[in-house]
Amino acid sequence: MSMVHIVFWSGTGNTQRMAEAIAAGAAKAGAPVVVSPAAEARVETVLAAPVLALGCPSMGAEVLEESEMEPFVMALEAAGLRGKKLALFGSYDWGDGQWMREWQERMEKSGAIMVTDGLIANNTPDADALGLCAALGAKLAGA
């Protein structure tokens, strides 16, 4: 099983719930899992894992959170993500997922291999959404 490192930013806990469900799914599948809030994540440590999941809600006007997550994502882009297996996730409210589509495009340009399309949940993830998160965790564990 591959080591999975999950980095997330969450203002009101919705994306954090998704991160925790993904972590639980990966751990249940037998993978070693590390979960880091973006403010505590170090690029070198994160890139040591072969499989990554990054989570951030839609903020601003369909952008990543700008003080912690965006700088972290820019640092990953500067380091390059060639060959890294990656999944993105996050919560949103009134939009249509534009922030996630644009984020995924950026990560693909940096060389990441997307394990799946970005997983989005409307506001607080319900049981169905948390089930999808757990399934994503299991998929990442076997990636």
Ligand X SMILES: Cc1cc2nc3c(=O)[nH]c(=O)nc-3n(C[C@H](O)[C@H](O)[C@H](O)COP(=O)(O)O)c2cc1C
Q: Within 10 A of 40 (CB to CB), how many other CB atoms are there?
A: 10
Helix or strand holding residue 71 (H, E): helix 69-79
Least gap, CB of 97 to ligand X (angstroms): 8
Binding segment for ligand X (CB under 6 A), chosen from 21-29, 67-75, 86-94, 130-138, is 86-94
Residues 6-35 as x/- pattern, contact with ligand X by CB under 6 A? ----xxxxxx--------------------
| Residue 13 or 131 having the CB closest to ligand X | 13
Answer yes or no whether residue 92 interacts with ligand X by CB under 6 A.
yes
Closest CA to 76 of 56, 54, 57: 54
Q: Taking a C-beta distance cutoff of 8 angstroms, is the pair 106, 114 a contact?
A: no
| Residue 34 or 97 having the CB closest to ligand X | 97
Both tokens of 107, joined, read: 């990560």
Q: Taking a C-beta distance cutoff of 8 angstroms, is the pair 3, 53 a contact?
A: no
Which 8-state DSSP code applies to residue 118?
A: P
Least gap, CB of 33 to ligand X (angstroms): 19
Least gap, CB of 13 to ligand X (angstroms): 5
3-class DSSP assignment, residue 26: helix
| Residues that bind ligand X in the complex, under the rule CB under 6 A | 10-15, 57-62, 91-95, 123
